[in-house]
Amino acid sequence: MSETLAYYEQHAARFFDETVDIDMSAARARFLAYLPPHAAILDAGCGSGRDAAAFMAAGYRVSAFDGSPTLAAMATQRLGLDVVVKRFEELTLTPRFDGIWACASLLHLPARRLRDAFARLGNGLRPRGVLYASFKYGLGERNAGGRHFTDMNDDGLADLLTELPIFHVLEVWLAPDQRPQRSGERWLNTLLRRPE
């Protein structure tokens, strides 16, 4: 188990409590605007299950996974949905999702593994399917409090996507952290589409 996964295993209850009520409705609305009604959505690295719950409540067909067994169990209990324990490098998806939501999850991968993870997620999208991903705004890799972070800015994202012709960029935008104690932090958000 990586140091980051070990962190989430050790601090799962606190992480759940600190993130389950964060208001991500604005980002979800931008994502859902590109999807058909009752779309099939994969929540990739679902954490507390906050966003999966919102998608289910809105009538979408939701699947979810998380790398932390404890968080997956907590999300399963909350959602009444079987949240699979899986890491990005273990994904073998077929194109059955209209949308994939990777909120603050890919950022824990080393930069050298991002291309592979994006490609694996892209394999799970139907033609014209949409991927949402978010990263802490910046550039480079760091360890903070026992977790690995790969930060991303516009140029870093552009460089990554030159190696991923499976995606077309729909939107890229910056947003403040929704947690009051982290109001100085910003997030890079992107919506990517798999072409027909």
Span 3-9+39-193: which CATH code? 3.40.50.150
Query: Which residues, 6+ apart, have CB-to-CB distance to 156 below 8 Å?
Result: 139
Largest CA distance in the chain: 42
The confidence score (pLDDT) of residue 79 equals 95
- At which residue do the structure tokens 């890079």 appear? 188
- Order of strands, sheet of 97-102, starting from the edge strand that comes earlier in the sequence: 84-85, 61-66, 40-44, 97-102, 125-136, 186-193, 168-176
Q: Are 62 and 43 in contact (CB under 8 A)?
A: yes
* Domain assignments of the chain as residue spans, ordered by start: 3-9+39-193
Question: What DSSP designation does 92 have?
Answer: -
Q: Are 66 and 46 in contact (CB under 8 A)?
A: yes
Helix (H, G, I), strand (E, B) or coil at 24: coil
The confidence score (pLDDT) of residue 19 equals 81
CA distance 98 to 10: 34
18 alpha carbon, distance to own chain's centre:
17
- Partners of residue 63 on adjacent β-strands: 42
CA distance 165 to 36: 23
Residue 35: both structure tokens together:
């999807």
Q: How many CB atoms lie within 10 A of CB 33?
A: 11
Residue 60: both structure tokens together:
């979408």
Helices then strands, counting H and E runs in the chain, come out as 7, 9
Q: Are 130 and 34 in contact (CB under 8 A)?
A: yes
pLDDT tens for the 196 residues of the chain, in order: 488 888 888 888 788 788 878 889 999 999 999 999 999 999 999 999 999 999 999 999 999 999 999 999 999 999 999 999 999 999 999 999 999 999 999 999 999 999 999 999 999 999 999 999 999 999 999 999 889 999 999 999 999 999 999 999 999 999 998 766 666 789 999 999 999 8
